[in-house]
Amino acid sequence: DVKVTQSSRYLVKRTGEKVFLECVQDMDHENMFWYRQDPGLGLRLIYFSYDVKMKEKGDIPEGYSVSREKKERFSLILESASTNQTSMYLCASSKTDFLETQYFGPGTRLLVL
Q: Which residues bind other proteins (CB under 8 A)?
A: 4, 40-45, 90, 92, 97-99, 101-107, 109
Q: Is 28 or 97 the residue whose CB approaches other proteins more closely?
A: 97
Q: How far is the CB of 48 from other proteins (least distance, A)?
A: 10
What does the alpha-carbon distance between residue 17 and residue 81 come to, in Å, rounded to a whole number? 5
Amino acid at 57: K
Q: How far is the CB of 95 from other proteins (least distance, A)?
A: 13
Would you say 90 and 103 are in contact if contact means Cβ atoms under 8 Å apart?
no
What does the alpha-carbon distance between residue 18 and residue 7 come to, in Å, rounded to a whole number? 15
Would you say 8 and 57 are in contact if contact means Cβ atoms under 8 Å apart?
no
Q: Is 82 or 101 the residue whose CB approaches other proteins more closely?
A: 101
Q: Is 2 or 17 the residue whose CB approaches other proteins more closely?
A: 2
What does the alpha-carbon distance between residue 21 and residue 112 come to, in Å, rounded to a whole number? 14
Q: How far is the CB of 17 from other proteins (least distance, A)?
A: 24
